[in-house]
Every structure is written in structure tokens, then in C-alpha cells.
Amino acid sequence: MSTAEVETTEGDLVVPKFAVQVDHPRNDDLVVQCIPGCRLRSTIRGGKPIETEDPNESRVPLDQARTLASLPPIPGMILAIDPLELKYTITDPLRDDTDMLERIMKWMKNHSPYTLDSLNGIPQQKGELDVHRMKSLCKEVWHALKNRHVKMVAGAQPDMDDIDDLPGKYLLNPGSVVMNTQPMFAQDWDTWVEKLTASGG
């Protein structure tokens, strides 16, 4: 058993609950495909731009670095995942953080053409997924961790082998919002393509 596995009373292996914070190297938002309509703000920071061939190593684009140089670092939103309960929670560290909100509004007043009478973070959001979408979500977040678009803030980083062992099947296109004829599950893709090719599609 790996360190990312625990046993339930039924003896099934699961991925323990964990949480990640969006911390994109270029301050980009993160769109979570497995949670419909989910777009999470990254940690936003100024800093010196780094020229590199690897886009994940480029910390902040030059125009952002200049504009945001004096902006206080804004914490990214946090996604907490409980695979056993099939639940997730999204929180915004800015919510009701009076000191940080005042600092941001002061910066906007001095550096932005936009003015706000008030500012607050996003209210906490909770949801529940089916086993297929939860398994797919864990895989999606695992890739976000690998690409350094998020960072761990609670629990142990999930292991891909443990995610594979979760109940359910991986969704082929969890972010799709339109009707299509593609199979629901990734494991059926090759068979679908073979049939499509055989029929002259």
C-alpha cells in the first residue's frame, strides 16, 4: 500500500482527502473541467520576468511584471477534494480578509482606471460528484500538480496509481457543454474510433 492509500471499513483502497491552491506561474486562472462552470483565480503576484523556453518556468510576463510590481501578492483559490465522500469545497482566502482587501483597493485606486466601492472574495462553494467525475477530477488535479499550476496545501499529494484504483471510469471529455457522439468514457475511445473508421466516418 502506498502512502497515499488508506483503508475503509470495507477494505477498499481510496485516495485520502487533500487540498490544492491555484498558483499558476503566469498568474493564469485555472479552469477545472470536471466541475461544471468552475474557474479558479490563481495566486497573483508581480515579479521579475524570466525568459525561458519552458512556458511553465516563465514566472510573470513582462507587461504583468511592470504593472503588478507594487501589487501585494493575492492568494489563489483553494480546492479541497474528498474522494471517499465524493465531495469538493472551493474557498477563497480573500473572503472577509479585511486587511488584504483594503490593500488591494488602495493599489487599484493608485494604479487602475477602475474604482470599487467595496471588494470581497468569492463565497465558499461546495458540491458533490458521481464516482466517474470524482475520479476524473483527481486525475485532472494530479496533472495540474505535475505542471505546477497548483500546489498542495493540505493532505498528501495523491499517487496516480491510487487514483487509477478509485471506483468509476475516467470521463473522456468532462468539460464538454454541447451534445456530441463521442463516448462518455476514455476507455471506449479506441473502439469508437475503429467503428467510425470502419463505417467511413
What residues does 88 pair with on adjacent strands?
81, 127
Q: For residue 6, is it left (φ>0), alpha (ψ between -120 and 50) or beta? A: beta
pTM comes to 0.80
Question: Residue 145: CB partners within 8 Å, gap ≥ 6?
Answer: 20, 151, 152, 157
Least confident of 52-66, 71-85, 94-108: 52-66
Mean pLDDT of 99-123: 82
Residue-wise pLDDT tens digits, 136-157? 999 999 999 999 999 999 999 9
pLDDT band at 6 (very low <50, low <70, confident <90, very high): very low
Helix (H, G, I), strand (E, B) or coil at 64: helix
The residues spanned by each domain of the chain are 6-170, 175-201
Asked if 34 and 22 count as a contact pair (C-beta separation under 8 A), the reply is: no
Grid coordinates 474522494 are at which residue?
83
